[in-house]
Amino acid sequence: MAYSFFRQLEKRILYLPLGSVVTIADFTDIAGAKTVSKMLTRLAEEGLVRRVMRSVFWKPDGEHSEPEPNEVAKALARENGWELAPSKETALHLFGMVDAKPKVWTYVTNGTYRNYQYGDQQISFTHTGKHFWSKWSEKTILLIQCLKAYGKEHVTDEIRRKLGGKIHGWDTKKLVEETKGAAVWIRDTVRVLCSKSRPVSVKRIHTEDVR
């Protein structure tokens, strides 16, 4: 039976894209956590995956010496059962507003304060009690976190222009709906961005909604 579990896990990893980051929690539908840990360790010894840190493994992509910090952060969130949102420079980089990668990849979660390091990369989680992430798509979360990173007083016309370009082609009706739970200034800014991106769904937004 243990051999069967191992082959199930091995097969699932073989089908994952190169560069994928996985945790023990991703495979507990196959076997218990201790058994999965042993099987992942065996696959690491065989070279199919590499251990990044405790409970976290990476399927090498053949191009990089270590996994992308954002993928590791998402894996850690899955392992701990946390909701996750990039913050500050991390959000700006992931949304393509700045090219420079952050020195410390920062995130807010509904979990605990915790810092992680692997290789030259640092990941920092801070706790927040206020969130609507379970109701938002990943795109919406990232846009909201970009706006928070800039701050209400620093969202200039140039920044709005760049953000508007980034959401071109999005379902803006859904975006406006999802941001109803955000702060008023964020909600209003999103509506303005949507009104300028000119997708079909924006036609249904009433004029008074974008004032």
Mean pLDDT, rounded, for 121-139: 83
pLDDT value at position 169?
Answer: 85
Query: Chain-wide mean pLDDT for the chain?
Result: 88
pLDDT value at position 211?
Answer: 33
Residue type at 2 in one-letter notation = A
Q: Which CATH number fits domain 2-58: 3.40.50, 1.10.10, 3.30.310, 1.10.3470?
A: 1.10.10
Place of tokens 């405790």: 54
At 144-162, the pLDDT tens digits run: 999 999 999 999 999 999 9
pLDDT value at position 205?
Answer: 36
* Helix, coil or strand: residue 140: helix
Q: How far apart are the C-alpha atoms of 159 and 188, rounded to whole Å?
A: 15
Question: CA of 125: how far to CAs of 55, 111, 117, 140, 169, in Å?
Answer: 17, 8, 12, 20, 31
Question: CA of 41: how far to CAs of 53, 55, 118, 144, 145, in Å?
Answer: 11, 10, 17, 38, 36
Ranges of each domain in the chain: 2-58, 69-127, 142-210
CB–CB of 164/135 below 8 Å? no
Mean pLDDT, rounded, for 37-66: 94
> Backbone dihedral region of 32: left (phi > 0), alpha (psi from -120 to 50 degrees) or beta?
beta
Residue 2: pLDDT above 80? no
pLDDT value at position 195?
Answer: 83
Mean pLDDT, rounded, for 168-186: 88
